[in-house]
A and B are shown apart, each in its own frame.
Chain A
Amino acid sequence: MSTKAPGILPAPSSPSRLTPSAVSVATRDIHLAFGRNRVLRGVDLDVKAGTAACIIGPSGSGKSTLLRAVNRLLEPDRGDVLIGGRSVMGDDPDALRQRVGMVFQHFNLFPHKSVLANITLGLRKLRALSREEADAAALTQLDRVGLRHKAHVRPGTLSGGQQQRVAIARALAMSPEVMLFDEVTSALDPELVKGVLATMADLAGEGMTMLVVTHEMGFARGVADTVHFMDGGQVVESGTPEQLFEAAASPRLQRFLSQVL
């Protein structure tokens, strides 16, 4: 994998372009185990409002589990998740997830619904919008990802890259304060990766707070404000892309970078 992904020139993500709704995300000493398998062992993470944080690390290091702990798809055994500086551990998890958008490696679009209906489902059932309001909001998001002309087809007829952009539109339609991306380009053919990364770079440029688990080192280097290296269920090293990619301090990160770059 190259360190520079040609064609992805990120929009600047300076604080001046911060959207009003952007909030910070932090985790404090998150522990999470599947049975005896302790996947997260005390994760501390700080993502400032309106910044994009890339989480990198070897397979099994707990990156995806950490994302699911942030929106409590997986309940941490211990620790705290702070959004906008406030703990969300006491919140209703369903209400919390309406504020936190998530995009998955395998898209997970609903195959029995049209592209438009995929996006309007949450708006209609959870936000109680009328059909017209929901359709209009969904089409706005489809415009953003350049797929308005696909509104009435089933997701199965789209390419992987298009499906992933629909998944991003579906998450954005709920007006989330934070977006979580879980290896969203890992299941895509190489030629489709760029379009999805460009959409994400746009979003970062608009000042969305983003947590991005990725193997795309070019994206981490070019778009992320901070990069966090996870290994063995902990964040081993955090910093700016320059700090991590040019001057890795820990031997584990140095070894990881030498393998992936």
Chain B
Amino acid sequence: MDILRTLRETFLDLDAMGQALPELVRVGLPNTLILALCSAVVGTVAGMLLAVCGLSRSRWLRWPARIYTDIFRGLPAAVTILLIGVGLAPLGLLIWGPNPYPLGILALSLIASAYIGEIFRSGIQSVESGQLEAARALGFSHPSGMRLVVIPQGVRRVLPALVNQFIALIKESSLVYFLGLLATQRDLFRIGQDQAANTGNESALLLAGLFYLVITVPLTHVVNHIDSRLRTGRRRDGNDGAETADDDPALTITQEAH
């Protein structure tokens, strides 16, 4: 039973958790959300750009997109964050002052955009060629047809994969601690880890982990819900099942007319 007690004291020390809780809520949670949200937005915009370039008919757009994707998908996140965050730090110091966040967000965005670009590309490519053909037959230009018809469908198809990427991003945002954070800049992980290092008790880190789950688990369920809504159409459309020729008044009318 000693083992169980040791485990409980190491991981479930409520006092240690209570000590860490205010900072986790006031400092860690906002910082993690800022890092993840900003890089998600930048990564999504850049990812769409990469996907469109990757699908371009011009090799001068396709190849750079390909190379970019290979590099930032192939490097470990820690390497990219350190290379960007430390390597560009003198530049960052000039522009933003001693704040590691902009470069951290840049590094996270570079990584995220490489993955998100591939997600969008696969989604867009999965849309049947007849969709673009139909748009073009109506008189839409190739870019308009892509923008109005193909890309919206492609994005819908990959929403679950996109949210997986956002979840990965929320977790990877913890790596920004490499860049050295002031007390007020610490994210969830760093606060939990500091507390654990000071006390030799992992309870605060476990609590930080629970915070991550509180963000990521609902996200998965929200997207599943959105996904099923998009598949079936808006709720008021949902009740209309397929009809056969028998219960279609229009058919009988047209036939009788002749």
Which residues of A are at the interface with B, using a C-beta cutoff of 8 A?
7-11, 71, 73, 94-95, 97-98, 100-102, 104, 106, 108-112, 114, 121-122, 125-126, 145-147, 150, 152-154, 156-159, 161-162, 165, 167, 170-171, 174, 191-192, 194-195, 198-199, 201-202
Contacts and interface: CB of A to CB of B under 8 A. Distances in A.
9 contacts: A7-B255, A8-B258, A9-B258, A11-B258, A122-B140, A125-B140, A157-B233, A158-B242, A161-B251
Interface residues of B, number: 38
B244 interface: yes
Contacts of B2: none
B255 to A, nearest CB: 6
Looking at chain B's contact residues, the main secondary structure is: helix
Interface string B129-153: 0110111111111001000110011
A201 B152 CA distance: 35
A101 B243 CA distance: 26
A172 to B, nearest CB: 11
A108 B134 contact: yes
Nearest to B232: A154
B134 A195 contact: no
A210 B208 CA distance: 68
A195 B138 contact: no
Interface of B: 128, 130-131, 133-141, 144, 148-149, 152-153, 156, 230, 232-233, 236-237, 240-245, 248-251, 253-255, 257-258
B152 A126 contact: no
B53 to A, nearest CB: 23
B232 to A, nearest CB: 8
Given A97-B138, A108-B131, A112-B152, A195 B255 contact: yes
For B134, B153, B156, the residue with the greatest tally of chain A CB atoms inside 10 Å of its CB is: B134
Given A110-B131, A112-B152, 18 more contacts: A73-B137, A108-B130, A110-B153, A114-B233, A121-B138, A146-B248, A157-B237, A157-B241, A158-B243, A159-B242, A159-B245, A174-B138, A191-B244, A191-B245, A195-B255, A198-B257, A198-B258, A202-B254
Contact of B236 (A152, A165, A202): A152
A97 B156 contact: no
Given A7-B255, A158-B242, A194-B255, A153 B233 contact: yes
Contacts of A10: 258
A160 B152 CA distance: 23
A57 B254 CA distance: 29
B140 A73 contact: no
A200 B250 CA distance: 14
A58 B194 CA distance: 76
B140 to A, nearest CB: 7
Contacts of A94: 136, 139-141
A45 to B, nearest CB: 19
A107 B136 CA distance: 14
Contact of A110 (B134, B136, B144, B232): B134
A171 B134 CA distance: 10
Return the 4 tightest CB-CB contacts between A and B, nearest first.
A146-B250, A98-B139, A108-B134, A154-B233
